[in-house]
Amino acid sequence: MNMSIQQVVTDEAAAKRAKVAGRRYRRQQSAFDILILFAVVIGASVVYGFISPDTFAFNSFANIQNALYTIPIEVGIPALGVGVLMIAGEFDLSVGINYIFSSIVAAQLATNGLNVWLAALIGLLIGTGIGLLNGLITLRLRIPSFITTLGTSFFWLAATFFVHGASSQPFAPDPVFASLTAGSVGVIPATFLWWAVLALAFWGLLERNRIGNHIFGAGGNKQAAIATGVRVDRTKLLAFGLAGATAALGGILAASYIGNIAPSNGQALPLEAIAACVIGGLALGGGRGTILGIVLGSALIFWIRDVLLLLGAPGFYIDAPIGVLIIGAVAVYEVLRSRRS
Amino acid sequence: MGIDGMDKAAAERPVQRGESVTPLLELRNVNKHYGLNTVLNDVSIHVGQTEILALLGDNGAGKSTLVKTMSGVVQPDSGTLLWEGKQVELKAHTDAAELGIETIYQDSALVDSMTIARNIFMGRELVGPLGFMRLKEMREISSHVLKTIVAIEGIDSPDKLVGSLSGGQKQAVAIARAVHFKRTLLILDEPTSALAVRATEALFEYLRSLRTQGLSSVLVTHNLYDAYRICDRFVVMARGQVVFQATQQETSVDELIVHVSRG
């Protein structure tokens, strides 16, 4: 039945204003801001690298290759899972120890004779299981995921020492596995390809699949999602599982690339992954974010360390600028957002 | 009586055949307490077919709990619920949703960070294989819904983010969604409290039109003047009990004020 309401706005200026405001608001959901930030900082680095290549080897093949190898395994791949979980409105602080535990178990199994692919699969399943357990505890007991995963991270740390001890675990898979996980296709590292494929898959899930709609709903307005029939708990559980899976995958690829796993690594991963997501434009409260943002945020965190190292900054100074970057980036996004709306 | 809009409302309303028509939803002798606090005390009300019912009363009267009982969010301790004359048990809000009951909240139950189209189809997405959404279709249907069910001014595209809409526009989208998915009973919780005058007028137009399309609505509101203009019947609650019921012809705004403030 056709029904018209009164007084359709005929004032062209008003209609145009509304259209522009709508377009601006739409952009807030895209990764536009971080794309600009990324382009600016990389552009500046490339330019400076050309101006002074001896003191700042940014554009060297070695530096670029190292970046492409390292970003995915150091933060890029785990950040995908952490980010999707954040959009769903939850956190996982146990991804660091998950990264270690899953890969140590896989490496140990492989070193003791199990088929390396099977060992890797078991590692992945363990990681996914850790994530799902986080989800079950959070959702059934109705406690904040921040607390749950804080608690489980201690548990899995103890489990790591129990299963393996404090020494590092070597990992020397057969050449096929090694080349598929840590080799390269031409100049492009395998780890980067894994990251690219995963990012694409996650994008498809988040932006094109019904599950993604539910993830945004669960994180953006949980009551609204429940009211329209979304199974919020089930959706969140899936996100928890994905966070665990990507953590384990990152750990296994890192183990293959580096050749061993030290239990002391991975301490910084959860907060770095969250930082990457926040820099990438994700809202801490959930319901907002893009895969491109997560990818670029991960790259930016690596970039700032890389630049400082290239400039010869002492190791312990490196983390301070990351703190500045996190606060600065979010402050800039807030200013841009409030200016538009 | 010369109250604005009353004549029009009376003219548009289909003729009631009195008690022989089965109510859409009926609550009989419903009780609910939380600990020692009795929130609903032997409440019996009904919502007729194609009726706009006002649920009035001061804070703490039990209106919130009553509508939550209607929408399945709260289960009564005792009493009966009947839907179209048949007894039902609403153990969860999904049971109510299956019957066609939908609550439109004050903050509109939409997700600000998503587009109108994705909000309209939230939980009811059109999907192809593996759950991938048929976005083009969803957008086209959303455009159509925005134009025909409730022609909302100022919204030209289903790709607009809901967060950029005004309160009235969000309400309209939420109502349009409910109508599109063939809801039969809408419960509106304080729908006009955050709306400007023009948006309130628009909302009343929607509700009148919904009634002629066969939907009933329950309006929970503090605004007695608004309620009197749009509603067919009034139920006043106080301290968990129904203290007054009347149709629009049987009462006046002044009388309603007396009953509400006395409670």
Tens digit of pLDDT for each residue in A166-184? 888 999 999 999 999 999 9
Tell me: pLDDT of A102 over 70. yes
pLDDT at residue A7, rounded to an integer:
36
Strand partners, B216: B185
Give the burial string for A190-223 (b: 16+ CB within 10 Å, else e).
bbbbbbeebbeebbebbeebbbbbbbbbbbbbbe
Chain B touched by A309 (CB under 8 Å): no
Q: Distance between CA A338 and CA A333 in Å, rounded?
A: 9
* Structural domain contains residue A15: no
Is B214 part of the contact surface with chain A (CB cutoff 8 Å)?
A: no
Q: Is B93 on the interface with A (CB under 8 A)?
A: yes
Q: Please determine, for residue A314, whether its predicted confidence score (pLDDT) is greater than 60.
A: yes
Whether residue A213 and residue B125 make contact (CB cut-off 8 A), yes or no, is yes
Model pLDDT for residues A241-276, shown as the tens digit of each residue: 999 999 999 999 999 999 999 888 778 899 999 999
Q: How far is CA A228 from CA A225, B31, B67, B119, B171, in A?
A: 5, 27, 17, 9, 15
**Chain-wide mean pLDDT for chain A?**
87
CA dist A288 and A28 (Å) reads: 9
Specify the DSSP element, H or E, that contains B55: strand B52-56
Contact residues on chain A for B151, CB-CB shorter than 8 A: 3-5, 8
Answering whether pTM is above 0.80, one says: yes
* A257 domain-assigned: yes
Residue B5 sits at the chain A interface (C-beta within 8 Å):
no
3-state SS, residue B31: strand
pLDDT tens digits along B166-218: 877 888 888 888 878 878 899 988 877 777 777 777 778 878 888 888 889 99
**Chain B touched by A254 (CB under 8 Å):** no
Interface probe, candidates A1, A5, A27, A337, chain B, greatest B C-beta count within 10 A: A5
How far B164 CA sits from the closest chain A CA (Å)? 6
Inter-residue contact A288 to A31 (CB < 8 Å):
no
Chain A residues inside the 8 Å CB shell of B179: none
- Spatial distance between the Cα atoms of A280 and A33, rounded to a whole number of angstroms: 9
For position B5, what pLDDT does the model report? 43
Low-confidence ranges of chain B (pLDDT < 50): 1-19
- Inter-chain contact B123–A217, Cβ cutoff 8 Å? yes
Interface of B with A in 6-65 (CB under 8 A): none
Q: Mind telling me how many Å the CA of A59 is from chain B's nearest CA?
A: 38
Cβ A102 vs Cβ A247: under 8 Å: yes
Say yes or no: B127 contacts chain A, CB-CB below 8 A: yes
pLDDT of residue B58: 87
Instruction: State residue A324's pLDDT score.
Output: 84
Work out how many CB contacts closer than 8 A connect A with B: 123
Residue B252 to residue B263: CA distance in whole angstroms: 17
DSSP secondary structure letter of residue B161:
B
A214-243 per-position pLDDT tens digit: 999 999 999 888 878 889 999 999 999 999
Q: According to the model, what pLDDT value does residue B150 have?
A: 63
pLDDT at A212 over 80: yes
Inter-chain CB proximity B160 and A25 less than 8 Å: yes
Short-list B63, B77, B149, B76, CA closest to B106? B63
Q: How far is A324 from chain B (nearest CA, A)?
A: 27
DSSP B127: B
Q: What gap in Å lies between CA B152 and CA A301, rounded to an integer?
A: 44
Q: Where residue A297 sits, what CATH number does that domain have?
A: 1.10.3470
pLDDT, greater one: A307 or A109: A109
- Could you tell me if A245 and A131 are in contact, meaning their C-beta atoms sit under 8 angstroms apart? yes
Can you count the helices (H) and strands (E) in chain B?
A: 9, 10
Residue A51 domain-assigned (yes or no): yes
Question: What residues in A contact B160, CB-CB < 8 Å?
Answer: 22, 25-26
- Indicate the range of A108-122, A124-138, A267-281, B197-211 predicted with least confidence: B197-211
* pLDDT value of position A8: 38
Q: Which residues of B touch A18 (CB under 8 A)?
A: 154, 156
Q: What is the pLDDT of residue A57?
A: 85
Q: Looking at residue A306, what is its pLDDT?
A: 87
Beta strands in A235-322 (DSSP E): 260-261
Report whether pLDDT(A49) > 90: no
Calculate the CA B200 to chain-centre distance: 14
What are the residue ranges of CATH 3.40.50.300 in chain B? 1-6+23-100+184-263
DSSP lists the bridge partners of residue B46 as: B26
Separation between Cα atoms, residue A87 and residue B209, nearest integer Å: 38
Contacts of A1 in chain B (CB under 8 A): 148, 209, 212-213
The verdict on residue A221 lying in a domain is yes
Q: How many CA atoms lie within 13 A of A71 on its CB side?
A: 27
Q: Is B257 on the interface with A (CB under 8 A)?
A: no
CATH classification code of B1-6+23-100+184-263: 3.40.50.300
Q: Is B136 on the interface with A (CB under 8 A)?
A: no
Structure tokens at B219: 């309006």
- Structural domain of residue A170, as residue ranges? 34-333
Distance from CA of B209 to the nearest CA of A (A): 8
